[in-house]
Amino acid sequence: MTGITTTRLADGRELMYFDDDGHFPDAAGRSATLAGTPDQRDLPGRSAPGELRFDALTGEWVAVAAHRQARTHLPPADQCPICPTTPANPSEIPAATYDVAVFENRFPSLGPELGLIPDAPSWGTAGPAVGRCEVVSFTPEHTGSFSGLSEARARTVVEAWAHRTEALSNLPGIRQVFPFENRGADIGVTLHHPHGQIYAYPYVTPRAATLGAAARRFYDGADGRQTLTGSLLKAERNDGSRMVHEGRNFSAYVPFAARWPLEIHLVPHRQVPDLAALSGTEKDELAHVYLDLLKRLDALYPTPTPYISAWHQAPLDDVLRPASYLHLQLTSPRRAADKLKYLAGSEAAMGAFINDTTPETVAQRLREVTVPPSPDSHAAVRPQPEGARA
């Protein structure tokens, strides 16, 4: 069972350590050690939140977060803020080593304050950018990527996502929880260290609202309250030409109308609203299948493939939530070994996508690539020597 230890950073931000199952036999001693490893930095107090402004032209909220201009940008390895702390690099993570760490972002787009936003906005409506943004560090190792983790480590990350989804969903004013990973400089990452993020929004995002509305329309019109995502999964499995993986609890496919050159949807066979609702058995399989998909992406070309891994979870909305269905949308703009798809006029201005690949061909290539094995359990962990802690 994953061990969880919660502590605080020097400026009051929450930090949680998630340990691989069985990695530390003395769980109580491990928790005491981590909790007793304080952040010794002299940090300034947390800044005030940014601003949320309502765009009356589209009916959408925009976060204005000018303080993020000062955030860390692609630092050298010896100055990485999410590597374990050393005397030369007092980082965001005070422990000398860890498995998975989750902490409040020092430069959040949303938060640190929580609260409600106006329910009848109009032109000129603005207020604090309430909500919460967290960073999820997948490993203490500065190099590598999620696809290089052991299955034990991937399972710990899944547990962290589920834990944080449940906790964030219960915070005042939160209406949507979104775990995601931006991988690669071509996507716009600001840290090379393998990590992801979780945003807890005070509103339902435009994309989630669109997906939720379509799901609700189908749900209201279907016999037996079938779900839209479930029906699409069934259709893709019956067709077979775009399937990438079929398991006991999860299946993955390239969607019929894929927008991106590389796009995979990973869907549980059972309708659940979010990661927190998965069973232990489902989480076990998810860790395995997700690693497999990422390895397939990286095996397509000689160099690592940039991607966005987006977990679509049900909004915390009484109308949209019953019809919603957890699923992953894994996308990449890479259309060839040396070419990226840029969102130009049609996509960026009109939202009208034009795909440069065919979903059937992409699915076949993903099925046929050779997938390397995962490293042994805990192989991604390289404990630092005693005394390395600041």
CATH number, domain of 246, equals 3.30.428.10
Q: Do residues 142 and 240 share a domain?
A: no
Bigger pLDDT: 69 vs 273:
273
Q: Do residues 70 and 194 share a domain?
A: yes
Q: Do residues 155 and 235 share a domain?
A: no
User: 245, 240, 282, 247: which is closest to 264 by C-alpha?
Assistant: 245
Q: Do residues 237 and 331 share a domain?
A: yes
Q: What is the pLDDT of residue 377?
A: 61
Q: Do residues 185 and 232 share a domain?
A: no
Strands 195-201 and 250-253: unpaired
Tell me the average pLDDT across 294-306: 96
Q: Do residues 25 and 172 share a domain?
A: yes
In the three-class reduction of DSSP (H, G, I as helix; E, B as strand; rest coil), residue 184 is classed as coil
Q: Is residue 375 part of a domain?
A: no
Q: Is residue 181 part of a domain?
A: yes
Q: Do residues 275 and 307 share a domain?
A: yes
Q: What is the pLDDT of residue 383?
A: 41
Q: Do residues 55 and 193 share a domain?
A: yes
Separation between Cα atoms, residue 332 and residue 182, nearest integer Å? 10
Single out the residue in 204, 235, 267 at which a domain terminates. Answer: 204
Tell me the average pLDDT across 297-310: 96
Flag whether pLDDT at 386 surpasses 60: no
Separation between Cα atoms, residue 274 and residue 301, nearest integer Å? 32
Write down the pTM of the prediction.
0.94
- Full domain range(s) for residue 334: 207-368
Look at the alpha carbons of 21, 32, 379, 299 in this order and tell me if their dihedral is positive or negative: positive
Q: Is residue 390 part of a domain?
A: no
Q: Do residues 170 and 237 share a domain?
A: no
Percent above pLDDT 90 for the chain: 84
Q: What is the pLDDT of residue 225?
A: 85
Flag whether pLDDT at 378 surpasses 60: no
Tell me the average pLDDT across 228-239: 98
Q: Nearest 5°: CA angle at 299, between 240 and 142?
A: 130
Flag whether pLDDT at 33 surpasses 90: no
Catalytic site residue from 193, 195, 265, 327:
195
For the chain, the straight-line distance linking the first and the last C-alpha, in angstroms and rounded, comes to 29
Q: Do residues 95 and 199 share a domain?
A: yes
Asked about 192 being catalytic, the answer comes back as no
| Cross-strand pairs, 137 | 101, 195
Q: Do residues 200 and 213 share a domain?
A: no
pLDDT-based confidence at residue 27 (cuts at 50, 70, 90): confident
| 244 Cβ neighbours under 8 A, 6+ residues apart | 252, 253, 254, 264, 293, 296, 363, 366, 367
Q: Is residue 379 part of a domain?
A: no
Q: What is the count of structural domains for the chain?
A: 2
Separation between Cα atoms, residue 327 and residue 340, nearest integer Å? 25
Single out the residue in 161, 180, 204 at which a domain terminates. Answer: 204
In the three-class reduction of DSSP (H, G, I as helix; E, B as strand; rest coil), residue 230 is classed as helix
ω into residue 49 within 30 of 0, thus cis?
no
| 68 Cβ neighbours under 8 A, 6+ residues apart | 50, 107, 109
Q: Is residue 382 part of a domain?
A: no
User: 316, 309, 317, 326: which is closest to 227 by C-alpha?
Assistant: 326
| Cross-strand pairs, 126 | 53
The one-letter amino acid code at 96 reads A
| Whether 92 contacts 103, CB under 8 Å | yes
Single out the residue in 159, 178, 204 at which a domain terminates. Answer: 204
Flag whether pLDDT at 343 surpasses 50: yes
Integer angstrom CA distances of residue 107 from 111, 135, 144, 383: 9, 10, 24, 28
| Whether 312 contacts 267, CB under 8 Å | no
Q: Do residues 164 and 214 share a domain?
A: no
